[in-house]
Amino acid sequence: MIKIDNLKLSKKNKDILSEYKIELTAIKLKKIDTTVESYIEDIYKYLEYIEEKKHINSALNIKEEDIIDYLTYLDKNNYEKTSIVRKIVSIKLFHKYLSEKYHIEDISIKIDKPRVRRKLPNILSIEEVDNLLDIELHTAFDYRTKAMLELMYASGLRVSELVNLQLNDVDTELEVVRCTGKGNKERIVPIGEIASKWVRIYKDNYRSNLIKNKCNKNNYLFLNNHGKVISRSGFFKILKDIAYKKGINKTISPHTLRHSFASHMLNNGADLRSIQEMLGHADISTTGIYLHINNENLKKDYLEHHPRS
Q: Which one of the listed residues 95, 146, 158, 203 is annotated catalytic?
A: 158
Q: What residues contact residue 110 under an 8 Å CB cut-off, 6+ apart?
A: 64
Q: Which one of the listed residues 45, 54, 182, 200 is annotated catalytic?
A: 182
Task: For residue 144, indicate whether it is catalytic.
Answer: no
The torsion angle over the Cα atoms of residues 149, 279, 281 and 287, rounded to 10 degrees, is: 100
Q: Which one of the listed residues 87, 92, 95, 258 is annotated catalytic?
A: 258
CA distance 65 to 267: 48
CA distance 169 to 146: 18
Task: For residue 255, indicate whether it is catalytic.
Answer: yes
Q: Which one of the listed residues 46, 97, 220, 290 is annotated catalytic?
A: 290
Q: In the 8-state DSSP scheme, what is residue 231?
A: P
Nearest one of 177, 133, 127 to 155, comparing CA atoms: 177
Task: For residue 308, indicate whether it is catalytic.
Answer: no
Q: What residues contact residue 101 under an 8 Å CB cut-off, 6+ apart?
A: 19, 23
Q: What residues contact residue 78 under an 8 Å CB cut-off, 6+ apart?
A: none
Q: Is 139 left (phi over 0), alpha (psi -120 to 50) or beta?
A: beta
Task: For residue 44, indicate whether it is catalytic.
Answer: no
Point out the residues that are catalytic. 158, 182, 255, 258, 281, 290
